[in-house]
Structure 1
């Protein structure tokens, strides 16, 4: 499996923004090769729906048939990469619009997942509840400083990413933890007619 697949085609960006396809791509990355039948069991979608969405993921390079192939819906599929990447900026308006729509879809997906985790967190042992992070900071940064901060955090996170694909690297008691990095520029408040804020 490659480390990352980069989507730049507006059609691919819009295709990946579908919640079922995002869920299937995640399952393929975590669970390994899956048939449409097994994907349906894990997602609650129909087998026909999973089969269709797996073919769409394959069309845009996010999934592929695994060997050995089975017949029809028993054909196993695998992810082509551990992560999906797309432009944060593009001169092409079609790419920019599709990328923005995908970013919004991913944010909504994570919001729902986080809300479900918060509802169930009381069932976690105390050590996990105390270790979880839910905090924010407001920083005043230049674009260069924000990019450098992201690179430093990425370097720290990379120390643990190998565990996603190699269970031998996971220490006892390790669990899957989505770790989100979100930084956005706060819109400026409107100026009053006197020119002050």
Structure 2
């Protein structure tokens, strides 16, 4: 399972958390804050409180937890005095697929399962927001927006092969089209992020990919 985003503001491309780290991320607010930092780049607790309609005390607390477990870090270039900016440390998060004979298998499965449920909730929130916004999008983005599902009969190995192929395409696209964000200094009139464009049609886009066996109850 992967949660992608901003290459320009991250130190490394991917993170594969330990069960303890994954449990720290298994919180809807933390997952959302991390996603915002990966998309928009560095921000303060106050910035994030405004974006999420939370109070600064709440965002500050969750940011400290994310930092403690290695998902974000202080942006030393932007931070000044008591004004602390945070940035994501990785482009996306991967969850280990533990083999049945691996050490601490139950702990790993519990942590991964809990994370997947929170990630599914956040994904659903984003999909519902996009569906709500669709009516007011311009025609080009209405046409480009898609919410599709593709059902087929596969073995586990076939499903894994297809998932890896699609994920490879998407990761390659992320490399070719890194997210464009404007940090605090740039928003005050200095130079833009490398690769940015003045094209008003260019937007940050999220493509979500899911693959799972259909519940047997739905097949009857």
- TM-score when normalising by structure 2: 0.77
- Classify the secondary structure of the residue corresponding to 1:64: strand
Distance in 2 (CA, whole Å) between partners of 1:181 and 1:30 is: 17
Of 155-164 and 168-177, the range deviating more from structure 2? 168-177
SS of residue in 2 equivalent to 1:164: coil
Q: In the aligned structure 2, how far is the partner of 1:71 from the partner of 1:100?
A: 40
Q: Deviations over 1:53-101 (max 9, x none)?
A: 11100111101111144344x2111110010111244541112111111
Identify which of 161, 181, 187 aligns with 2:209: 181
Contact 1:90 1:96 (8 Å CA) reproduced: no
Residue-pair matches, total:
188
- Structure 1 or 2: larger helix share? 1
Give the Cα–Cα distance (whole angstroms) in 2 for the partners of residues 165 and 126 of structure 1: 22
Is the 2:179–2:204 Cα contact (8 Å) retained in structure 1? no
Of 92-101 and 63-72, deviating more is: 63-72
Deviation at 1:169, TM superposition (A): 4.0
Q: Which has the larger radius of gyration?
A: 1
Encode CA deviations 1:111-135: one digit per residue, 9 max, x unaligned: 1111111112000112211221222
TM-score, length basis structure 1: 0.86
2:46 is the counterpart of 1:43: no
Q: What residue number does 1:21 align with?
A: 30
Deviation at 1:170, TM superposition (A): 5.8
Q: Secondary structure at the match of 2:205?
A: coil
The answer for unaligned runs of 5 or more in structure 1 is 190-196
Contact 1:34 1:78 in 2 (8 A): yes
